[in-house]
Amino acid sequence: MPDWFREALAVPREEGFIDIDGTRIHYFRWGDRSHPPILMTHGFLAHARCFAFIAPFLAGDHHVIAYDLSGMGDSANRPGCDANARGAEMVGVAEALGLFDGPAKPVIIAHSFGASVGLTALVLAAERFSGLILCDMMVLRPEVLAERNRQGNSHPGSGDPDKPQRRYPDYPTARSRYVLSPPQAVGEAFLMDYMAFHSLRRSGEEWTWKFDPEVFRQNDAEPGWHEMGKRLVAVPGRKAIVYGAESLLFTADSAAYVRELGGTDIPIIAIPKARHHLMLDQPLAFVTALRATLAIWQANEPMCPTL
Protein backbone atom coordinates (compact mmCIF):
# COMPACT_ATOMS: atom_id res chain seq x y z
CA MET A 1 0.00 0.00 0.00
CA PRO A 2 1.68 3.27 -1.11
CA ASP A 3 2.41 6.24 1.12
CA TRP A 4 0.03 8.54 -0.78
CA PHE A 5 -2.92 6.30 0.12
CA ARG A 6 -2.02 6.08 3.81
CA GLU A 7 -1.48 9.84 3.94
CA ALA A 8 -4.84 10.48 2.24
CA LEU A 9 -6.72 8.32 4.74
CA ALA A 10 -4.89 10.10 7.60
CA VAL A 11 -6.35 13.48 6.59
CA PRO A 12 -8.95 14.38 9.27
CA ARG A 13 -12.54 13.73 8.25
CA GLU A 14 -15.96 13.76 9.82
CA GLU A 15 -18.35 10.85 9.36
CA GLY A 16 -22.05 11.09 10.10
CA PHE A 17 -25.67 10.67 9.09
CA ILE A 18 -28.35 13.17 8.16
CA ASP A 19 -32.08 12.79 7.59
CA ILE A 20 -33.27 13.73 4.11
CA ASP A 21 -37.06 13.50 3.80
CA GLY A 22 -37.17 10.62 6.29
CA THR A 23 -34.22 8.69 4.82
CA ARG A 24 -30.97 8.25 6.77
CA ILE A 25 -28.07 9.31 4.54
CA HIS A 26 -24.42 8.54 5.32
CA TYR A 27 -21.67 11.05 4.52
CA PHE A 28 -18.02 12.04 5.01
CA ARG A 29 -16.71 15.60 5.34
CA TRP A 30 -13.18 17.00 4.83
CA GLY A 31 -11.67 20.46 4.92
CA ASP A 32 -12.46 23.93 6.22
CA ARG A 33 -16.16 24.80 6.02
CA SER A 34 -15.31 28.36 4.95
CA HIS A 35 -13.67 27.10 1.74
CA PRO A 36 -15.49 26.63 -1.59
CA PRO A 37 -17.68 23.51 -1.31
CA ILE A 38 -17.66 20.26 -3.28
CA LEU A 39 -20.35 17.55 -3.21
CA MET A 40 -19.28 14.08 -4.38
CA THR A 41 -21.15 10.86 -5.00
CA HIS A 42 -20.53 7.46 -6.57
CA GLY A 43 -21.70 4.96 -9.18
CA PHE A 44 -24.44 2.34 -8.97
CA LEU A 45 -24.09 -0.09 -6.01
CA ALA A 46 -20.85 1.64 -4.94
CA HIS A 47 -20.36 3.97 -1.97
CA ALA A 48 -18.73 7.22 -0.89
CA ARG A 49 -15.48 5.51 0.05
CA CYS A 50 -14.55 5.46 -3.63
CA PHE A 51 -13.71 9.13 -2.95
CA ALA A 52 -12.16 8.57 0.50
CA PHE A 53 -8.66 8.57 -1.01
CA ILE A 54 -9.50 11.25 -3.64
CA ALA A 55 -11.27 13.91 -1.55
CA PRO A 56 -8.30 14.51 0.80
CA PHE A 57 -6.31 15.86 -2.17
CA LEU A 58 -9.03 18.46 -2.73
CA ALA A 59 -9.60 19.29 0.93
CA GLY A 60 -6.68 21.72 1.27
CA ASP A 61 -8.57 24.30 -0.77
CA HIS A 62 -12.16 23.06 -0.50
CA HIS A 63 -14.87 21.96 1.91
CA VAL A 64 -15.67 18.46 0.61
CA ILE A 65 -18.66 16.20 1.23
CA ALA A 66 -18.98 12.66 -0.17
CA TYR A 67 -22.21 10.77 0.50
CA ASP A 68 -23.79 7.37 -0.11
CA LEU A 69 -26.78 7.39 -2.44
CA SER A 70 -29.92 6.08 -0.75
CA GLY A 71 -30.13 2.28 -0.82
CA MET A 72 -26.35 1.99 -1.26
CA GLY A 73 -23.35 1.98 1.05
CA ASP A 74 -24.41 2.87 4.58
CA SER A 75 -27.42 4.98 3.55
CA ALA A 76 -30.95 3.67 4.10
CA ASN A 77 -33.17 2.91 1.12
CA ARG A 78 -35.74 5.47 0.01
CA PRO A 79 -39.11 3.84 -0.86
CA GLY A 80 -40.36 4.69 -4.34
CA CYS A 81 -37.13 6.47 -5.26
CA ASP A 82 -36.95 7.70 -8.85
CA ALA A 83 -34.67 10.06 -10.78
CA ASN A 84 -36.33 13.21 -9.44
CA ALA A 85 -36.18 11.89 -5.88
CA ARG A 86 -32.46 11.16 -6.23
CA GLY A 87 -31.82 14.64 -7.64
CA ALA A 88 -33.84 16.20 -4.83
CA GLU A 89 -31.89 14.07 -2.35
CA MET A 90 -28.62 15.51 -3.69
CA VAL A 91 -29.94 19.05 -3.30
CA GLY A 92 -31.16 18.10 0.19
CA VAL A 93 -27.74 16.76 1.22
CA ALA A 94 -26.06 19.99 0.09
CA GLU A 95 -28.65 22.02 1.99
CA ALA A 96 -28.51 19.95 5.19
CA LEU A 97 -24.70 20.10 5.34
CA GLY A 98 -24.49 23.85 4.77
CA LEU A 99 -22.99 23.82 1.27
CA PHE A 100 -25.30 26.63 0.16
CA ASP A 101 -24.54 28.84 3.15
CA GLY A 102 -21.30 30.50 1.99
CA PRO A 103 -20.45 32.91 -0.82
CA ALA A 104 -19.22 30.14 -3.15
CA LYS A 105 -21.68 27.73 -4.74
CA PRO A 106 -20.88 23.99 -4.52
CA VAL A 107 -19.42 21.99 -7.38
CA ILE A 108 -20.81 18.47 -7.88
CA ILE A 109 -18.28 15.73 -8.71
CA ALA A 110 -20.00 12.43 -9.45
CA HIS A 111 -19.07 9.11 -11.02
CA SER A 112 -21.12 7.03 -13.49
CA PHE A 113 -24.72 6.58 -12.25
CA GLY A 114 -24.11 9.30 -9.67
CA ALA A 115 -23.33 11.74 -12.48
CA SER A 116 -26.83 11.19 -13.88
CA VAL A 117 -28.14 12.09 -10.42
CA GLY A 118 -26.04 15.25 -10.63
CA LEU A 119 -27.70 16.16 -13.92
CA THR A 120 -31.12 15.84 -12.26
CA ALA A 121 -29.93 18.05 -9.40
CA LEU A 122 -28.99 20.71 -11.97
CA VAL A 123 -32.42 20.43 -13.59
CA LEU A 124 -33.97 21.05 -10.17
CA ALA A 125 -31.59 23.72 -8.88
CA ALA A 126 -28.92 24.75 -11.41
CA GLU A 127 -28.76 28.24 -9.94
CA ARG A 128 -27.63 26.85 -6.57
CA PHE A 129 -24.60 24.95 -7.92
CA SER A 130 -21.38 26.20 -9.50
CA GLY A 131 -21.12 23.25 -11.89
CA LEU A 132 -20.96 19.49 -12.37
CA ILE A 133 -17.93 17.34 -13.20
CA LEU A 134 -19.27 14.10 -14.72
CA CYS A 135 -16.82 11.24 -14.22
CA ASP A 136 -17.13 8.50 -16.85
CA MET A 137 -20.92 8.54 -17.06
CA MET A 138 -22.18 6.27 -19.85
CA VAL A 139 -22.80 8.35 -22.98
CA LEU A 140 -22.91 6.35 -26.22
CA ARG A 141 -24.51 7.00 -29.59
CA PRO A 142 -27.94 5.28 -29.69
CA GLU A 143 -26.77 2.81 -32.36
CA VAL A 144 -23.63 1.97 -30.35
CA LEU A 145 -25.70 1.47 -27.20
CA ALA A 146 -28.19 -0.72 -29.10
CA GLU A 147 -25.35 -2.95 -30.31
CA ARG A 148 -23.93 -3.10 -26.79
CA ASN A 149 -27.32 -4.22 -25.49
CA ARG A 150 -27.64 -6.85 -28.22
CA GLN A 151 -24.36 -8.30 -26.99
CA GLY A 152 -25.94 -8.81 -23.56
CA ASN A 153 -24.34 -5.91 -21.70
CA SER A 154 -26.42 -4.42 -18.92
CA HIS A 155 -26.96 -0.71 -18.34
CA PRO A 156 -26.16 1.04 -15.04
CA GLY A 157 -28.94 0.26 -12.56
CA SER A 158 -30.08 -3.02 -14.10
CA GLY A 159 -30.69 -6.14 -12.02
CA ASP A 160 -33.37 -8.33 -10.47
CA PRO A 161 -35.06 -6.70 -7.44
CA ASP A 162 -36.84 -9.95 -6.52
CA LYS A 163 -33.67 -12.00 -6.32
CA PRO A 164 -32.73 -12.59 -2.66
CA GLN A 165 -29.63 -10.82 -1.42
CA ARG A 166 -26.76 -13.33 -1.60
CA ARG A 167 -25.26 -14.43 1.71
CA TYR A 168 -21.81 -15.94 2.15
CA PRO A 169 -20.38 -18.08 4.97
CA ASP A 170 -17.24 -15.97 5.45
CA TYR A 171 -15.50 -12.85 4.20
CA PRO A 172 -13.05 -14.56 1.78
CA THR A 173 -15.97 -16.21 0.00
CA ALA A 174 -17.85 -12.93 -0.21
CA ARG A 175 -14.75 -11.08 -1.37
CA SER A 176 -14.27 -13.56 -4.20
CA ARG A 177 -17.70 -12.56 -5.54
CA TYR A 178 -16.93 -8.83 -5.70
CA VAL A 179 -16.56 -7.68 -9.32
CA LEU A 180 -16.75 -4.35 -11.08
CA SER A 181 -19.31 -3.36 -13.70
CA PRO A 182 -18.37 -3.34 -16.48
CA PRO A 183 -15.86 -6.08 -15.61
CA GLN A 184 -12.25 -4.91 -15.60
CA ALA A 185 -8.94 -5.33 -13.88
CA VAL A 186 -7.83 -2.27 -11.93
CA GLY A 187 -4.62 -0.31 -12.04
CA GLU A 188 -4.23 -0.41 -8.24
CA ALA A 189 -5.28 -3.84 -6.91
CA PHE A 190 -5.21 -2.79 -3.24
CA LEU A 191 -7.95 -0.24 -4.00
CA MET A 192 -10.16 -3.08 -5.25
CA ASP A 193 -9.70 -4.78 -1.87
CA TYR A 194 -10.56 -1.54 -0.08
CA MET A 195 -13.76 -1.04 -2.08
CA ALA A 196 -14.80 -4.68 -1.70
CA PHE A 197 -14.40 -4.66 2.09
CA HIS A 198 -16.61 -1.58 2.43
CA SER A 199 -19.22 -2.97 0.03
CA LEU A 200 -19.97 -5.87 2.41
CA ARG A 201 -21.45 -6.13 5.89
CA ARG A 202 -21.54 -8.85 8.50
CA SER A 203 -24.97 -10.41 9.12
CA GLY A 204 -24.73 -12.79 12.06
CA GLU A 205 -22.11 -15.36 11.11
CA GLU A 206 -22.49 -14.56 7.40
CA TRP A 207 -21.57 -11.74 5.03
CA THR A 208 -23.80 -9.96 2.53
CA TRP A 209 -23.86 -6.84 0.35
CA LYS A 210 -24.72 -3.43 1.77
CA PHE A 211 -26.93 -2.28 -1.11
CA ASP A 212 -30.70 -2.81 -1.01
CA PRO A 213 -31.97 -4.96 -3.95
CA GLU A 214 -34.97 -2.64 -4.20
CA VAL A 215 -32.74 -0.09 -5.98
CA PHE A 216 -32.92 -2.31 -9.09
CA ARG A 217 -36.71 -1.94 -9.26
CA GLN A 218 -36.46 1.81 -8.75
CA ASN A 219 -33.87 2.31 -11.47
CA ASP A 220 -35.44 -0.02 -14.04
CA ALA A 221 -38.14 2.66 -14.32
CA GLU A 222 -35.61 5.37 -15.27
CA PRO A 223 -35.51 6.95 -18.76
CA GLY A 224 -33.38 5.12 -21.33
CA TRP A 225 -29.65 5.75 -21.48
CA HIS A 226 -29.97 6.26 -25.25
CA GLU A 227 -31.08 9.84 -24.51
CA MET A 228 -28.24 10.60 -22.10
CA GLY A 229 -26.09 12.53 -24.58
CA LYS A 230 -28.91 14.90 -25.48
CA ARG A 231 -29.84 15.24 -21.82
CA LEU A 232 -26.26 16.04 -20.80
CA VAL A 233 -26.00 18.86 -23.34
CA ALA A 234 -29.48 20.27 -22.64
CA VAL A 235 -29.31 20.36 -18.83
CA PRO A 236 -28.55 23.89 -17.59
CA GLY A 237 -25.38 24.80 -15.70
CA ARG A 238 -21.63 24.53 -16.17
CA LYS A 239 -20.38 21.01 -16.92
CA ALA A 240 -17.10 19.20 -17.53
CA ILE A 241 -16.42 15.55 -18.35
CA VAL A 242 -13.52 13.43 -17.07
CA TYR A 243 -13.32 9.90 -18.47
CA GLY A 244 -11.03 6.92 -18.79
CA ALA A 245 -9.23 6.78 -22.13
CA GLU A 246 -9.82 3.00 -22.13
CA SER A 247 -13.42 3.14 -20.84
CA LEU A 248 -16.18 1.19 -22.56
CA LEU A 249 -18.91 3.57 -21.37
CA PHE A 250 -17.48 6.91 -22.47
CA THR A 251 -15.11 6.83 -25.42
CA ALA A 252 -13.41 9.19 -27.86
CA ASP A 253 -16.47 8.71 -30.06
CA SER A 254 -18.67 9.70 -27.09
CA ALA A 255 -16.71 12.95 -26.88
CA ALA A 256 -17.29 13.57 -30.60
CA TYR A 257 -20.99 12.75 -30.13
CA VAL A 258 -21.31 15.32 -27.31
CA ARG A 259 -19.70 17.92 -29.57
CA GLU A 260 -22.09 17.06 -32.41
CA LEU A 261 -25.06 17.48 -30.07
CA GLY A 262 -23.94 21.02 -29.28
CA GLY A 263 -21.76 20.52 -26.21
CA THR A 264 -18.84 22.43 -27.67
CA ASP A 265 -18.38 24.44 -24.47
CA ILE A 266 -18.04 21.35 -22.23
CA PRO A 267 -14.39 20.52 -21.36
CA ILE A 268 -13.73 16.81 -21.95
CA ILE A 269 -10.61 15.30 -20.34
CA ALA A 270 -9.36 11.74 -20.93
CA ILE A 271 -7.30 10.00 -18.23
CA PRO A 272 -4.62 7.84 -19.94
CA LYS A 273 -4.48 4.15 -18.94
CA ALA A 274 -7.81 4.40 -17.09
CA ARG A 275 -11.01 2.46 -17.67
CA HIS A 276 -14.47 3.20 -16.25
CA HIS A 277 -13.37 3.09 -12.61
CA LEU A 278 -10.98 6.04 -12.82
CA MET A 279 -10.21 6.23 -9.12
CA LEU A 280 -9.13 2.57 -9.04
CA ASP A 281 -7.04 2.72 -12.22
CA GLN A 282 -5.26 6.08 -12.12
CA PRO A 283 -6.20 7.79 -8.82
CA LEU A 284 -3.49 10.47 -8.88
CA ALA A 285 -4.08 11.37 -12.53
CA PHE A 286 -7.80 11.55 -11.71
CA VAL A 287 -7.05 13.94 -8.83
CA THR A 288 -4.96 16.08 -11.16
CA ALA A 289 -7.80 16.37 -13.70
CA LEU A 290 -10.27 17.32 -10.97
CA ARG A 291 -7.93 19.89 -9.42
CA ALA A 292 -7.18 21.47 -12.79
CA THR A 293 -10.88 21.78 -13.65
CA LEU A 294 -11.73 23.25 -10.27
CA ALA A 295 -8.86 25.75 -10.50
CA ILE A 296 -9.92 26.93 -13.96
CA TRP A 297 -13.54 27.29 -12.90
CA GLN A 298 -12.58 29.13 -9.72
CA ALA A 299 -10.34 31.51 -11.69
CA ASN A 300 -13.26 32.28 -14.01
CA GLU A 301 -15.76 32.98 -11.23
CA PRO A 302 -17.07 36.57 -11.41
CA MET A 303 -15.47 38.87 -8.86
CA CYS A 304 -17.72 40.37 -6.21
CA PRO A 305 -18.11 44.13 -6.79
CA THR A 306 -16.27 46.43 -4.40
CA LEU A 307 -18.71 48.50 -2.37
Task: Report the Cα 283 to chain-centroid distance in Å.
Answer: 14
Asked if 81 and 247 count as a contact pair (C-beta separation under 8 A), the reply is no
Q: Which residues contact 202 (CB under 8 A, 6 or more apart)?
A: none
Beta pairing, strands 23-30 & 14-20: antiparallel
Question: Residue 62 domain-assigned?
Answer: yes
For the ranges 41-45, 148-152, 162-166, 220-224, the lowest mean pLDDT is seen at 220-224
Beta-ladder partners of 253: none
**307 within some domain:** no
Q: Would residue 101 count as lying in a domain?
A: yes
- The pLDDT tens digits of the residues spanning 29-80 come to 999 999 999 999 999 999 999 999 999 999 999 999 999 999 999 999 998 8
Q: What would the pLDDT profile of 107-135 be if each residue is shown by its tens digit?
A: 999 999 999 999 999 999 999 999 999 99
Decide if 32 is inside a domain: yes
User: Of 165-169, 242-246, 266-270, 291-295, which gets the smallest average pLDDT?
Assistant: 165-169
Q: Determine how many CB atoms are found less than 10 A away from the CB of residue 249.
A: 24
237: left (phi over 0), alpha (psi -120 to 50) or beta: left
Residue 125: alpha-carbon gap to chain centroid: 18
CA distance 13 to 49: 12
Q: Which amino acid is at 21?
A: D
**Does residue 304 carry a pLDDT above 60?**
no
What amino acid occupies position 20? I
Specify the DSSP class assigned to residue 205: T
How big is the CA angle at 208 (ends 206 and 210), to the nearest 5 degrees? 140
Domain count, the chain: 1
Tens digit of each residue's pLDDT (9 = 90 or more) over 148-160 = 888 866 555 555 5
- Looking at every residue in the chain, the average pLDDT score rounds to 92
Residue 166 lies in a domain: yes
* Boundaries of domain holding 143: 3-299
Peptide bond into 182 cis (omega under 30): yes
What CATH code is carried by the domain that includes residue 245?
3.40.50.1820
Kindly state the average pLDDT of the residues 12-20.
98
Picking from 160-164, 276-280, 296-300, which range would have the lowest pLDDT averaged per residue?
Answer: 160-164
Q: Is the pLDDT of residue 307 over 60?
A: no
Asked if residue 267 belongs to a domain, the reply is: yes
87 located within any domain = yes
Examine residue 304 and state whether it is found in any structural domain, yes or no. no
Give pTM, 2 decimals.
0.93
Percent helix, strand and coil across the chain, each rounded to 5? 40, 20, 45
**Coil, helix or strand for 168?**
strand
